[in-house]
Amino acid sequence: MKSIQHLLWGLFALTVLVQSCEDPWSKHIAVNDEALAGNLLDNLKKNPQLSRFAQLLQQTGYDKVIASSKSYTVWAPVNAAIDALDPDLLADEAYVKKLVEFHLADQAYFANKIPQDSTVRLPTLGGKALNMTANHVDGVIPVDKDIYGANGVLHVLPVCLTPKPNAWEQLQAVDGHGSQLKTFLESLYALQFDVEQSTQIGVNPDGLPVYDSVFTLQNVFLNQVANLEDEMGEYTFFVVSDEVFQREQQRLSRFFVDSTAELSVYHARWNAVKDLVIAGNVPVGALNAPQYSLVDSVLIQVKPANVIASYAVSNGTVHLVNDYPYAFETKIKPIIVEGEAPEEVRDGRGFSVRTRLNPDGQVFYDLLIQNHGVNGMWVRYFPRLYSGRYRVYWRVIRDADLGLVPAADAEDLVHFPMKVTWGEDPLTAPGTDGFGYRPAPVINNGNGTFSPDYSEHLLGELTVDRYGLFSLYLVGNTTTANGTNTLLLDYLRLEPIY
């Protein structure tokens, strides 16, 4: 009898224990099931404050999109926000479609997954991008957020998000400022080969791909400087006044003299505008800090006082400026010609590239051609030079064969004179003496020993009449005797004379 009683009490206790464990877990499961039972459209419809946005979704067909199995993020403005919009705009189907698309994004983006002090740039369904942080989206603080559903997440906003023009679109909308800049940039559209839209249809005899060659209208500035139409990028774009545009063209013109006046003007204008973009979004208040242009790292010295208007755009900021100061020496920079990278070597001969160390331990590379047995051996370089005058320096590091030979009483090294010259033919063309022959620099220690000279040495001044590619030569000694006709060069530096 006692055994039966003990068994009954045991079953009762087990039942109580199971019930006490099941109830909280069941409630937890029920909450999750309720949250995940509906898709985004279902959850949106449950909130009466979002009924107006639900109507716009249905009107544009996006109700079916966010009810699908794909994951989406919805930023839904409350009814009062939509009622505050201009009725004429809400009657425009194209506007409503863009408005709705700007509040939807592929994938689920949860605010609580974004680290504090971080910003995530997100593409919306309409192609425009917006910035989202843990606390706001495009500067708007949600009234509710991270409401998850079966196919994504819903955030509730007190106002509508406003699609902004991108930087390129804002340029087109600017009126009364920067008209000459705008005209020049719009002139840069041209038909260009589009490899992404072209299909490879074979290969040529050299093994290179052959395409069906689709050409599309593209803008050189957008391709080579910054794609200001790119919604996922962030840029700061300066729109200069006509007065500044003309002044910069004139200031740069002497460095870009070409074969025709038309080409000269084009080069000057291009170089005036290519440094008007900074990477990232730099508001007017941050312009006191040093800024560098996107393309050539020109030091931009624009200050807030130079800005007459600023526009927050979808991919950064556009500043209208009445001046555009910059460090001139960072735009018209010295030209460095690396010795180890010649365009051509006489008779197609080879050359050696040495790896050396500066006294401070920094690695550098230089060119060495020796034991070649050629009278007047040369290498050619083909830098692009500004028109104008230069001071030309070379650095030649002779760090071998520094002993006095062959006689014990010799007072100097056996040298291998070289010269830097220019022209079509470094040996026979008129005026090819260049800077004249001179030995590789060394330091005479005064006690019969010599050390490498790691400094630059001025060769002389060079005048270039025309902007463009320019032939420079390093020419060896006029002898076939090895040891006295070596070629050695770290670099040439051409410093513009402003």
Within this chain, do residues 108 and 186 fall inside the same structural domain, yes or no?
Answer: no
> What is the CATH classification number for the domain harbouring 426?
2.60.120.260
Query: Bridge-partner residues for 496, per DSSP?
Result: 390
Within this chain, do residues 375 and 321 fall inside the same structural domain, yes or no?
Answer: no
Evaluate whether residue 203 is within a structural domain: no
Evaluate whether residue 176 is within a structural domain: yes
> What is the CATH classification number for the domain harbouring 291?
2.30.180.10
- pLDDT of res. 15: 43
8 Å CB contact between 381 and 492: yes
Please report the DSSP string for 40-104 in residue order: HHHHHHT-GGGHHHHHHHHHHTHHHHTTSSS-EEEEEEPHHHHHTS-HHHHT-HHHHHHHHHTTE
Evaluate whether residue 76 is within a structural domain: yes
Evaluate whether residue 473 is within a structural domain: yes
Evaluate whether residue 408 is within a structural domain: yes
The residue from 302, 330, 358 where one domain ends is 330
User: What CA–CA distance (Å, rounded) separates 94 from 46?
Assistant: 27
pTM of the full structure = 0.82
The residue from 313, 330, 347 where one domain ends is 330
Boundaries of domain holding 47: 40-157
How many structural domains is the chain composed of? 3
Burial label for 201, CB within 10 Å (0-12, 13-18, 19+), is exposed
Q: CA dihedral in degrees (401, 407, 409, 411; nearest 10)?
A: -40
- pLDDT of res. 34: 60
Burial of 439-454, coded b for 16+ CB within 10 Å and e otherwise, reads ebbbeeeeeeebebbb
**What secondary structure, in 3-state letters, does 100-121 show?**
HHCCEEECCCCHHHCCCCCCEE
Residue 406, preceding bond cis, omega within 30 degrees?
A: yes
Q: Which residue has the tokens 């050390």?
A: 451
Within this chain, do residues 341 and 322 fall inside the same structural domain, yes or no?
Answer: no
Evaluate whether residue 294 is within a structural domain: yes
Within this chain, do residues 68 and 185 fall inside the same structural domain, yes or no?
Answer: no
Within this chain, do residues 50 and 104 fall inside the same structural domain, yes or no?
Answer: yes
- pLDDT of res. 410: 65
Antiparallel, parallel or unpaired: β 72-77 and 152-157: parallel
Evaluate whether residue 271 is within a structural domain: yes
Evaluate whether residue 29 is within a structural domain: no
User: What CA–CA distance (Å, rounded) separates 324 from 316?
Assistant: 19
Within this chain, do residues 172 and 256 fall inside the same structural domain, yes or no?
Answer: yes
Q: Select from 216, 229, 225 the least CA-distant residue to 278.
A: 225
Within this chain, do residues 348 and 382 fall inside the same structural domain, yes or no?
Answer: yes
Helices (H) and strands (E) in the chain, counts: 12, 31
Within this chain, do residues 258 and 349 fall inside the same structural domain, yes or no?
Answer: no
- pLDDT of res. 430: 56
The residue from 311, 330, 349 where one domain ends is 330
Within this chain, do residues 387 and 259 fall inside the same structural domain, yes or no?
Answer: no
List average pLDDT for each run of 10 residues in the chain, which is 498 residues long. Answer: 44 42 45 65 94 96 94 97 95 95 96 93 93 94 94 96 95 94 96 80 86 86 96 96 98 97 98 97 94 97 97 96 97 98 95 97 98 95 97 97 68 90 76 87 90 97 96 95 96 97
Within this chain, do residues 178 and 318 fall inside the same structural domain, yes or no?
Answer: yes
Q: Select from 124, 333, 315, 314 the least CA-distant residue to 226.
A: 315
Within this chain, do residues 65 and 174 fall inside the same structural domain, yes or no?
Answer: no
- pLDDT of res. 191: 84
Within this chain, do residues 342 and 437 fall inside the same structural domain, yes or no?
Answer: yes
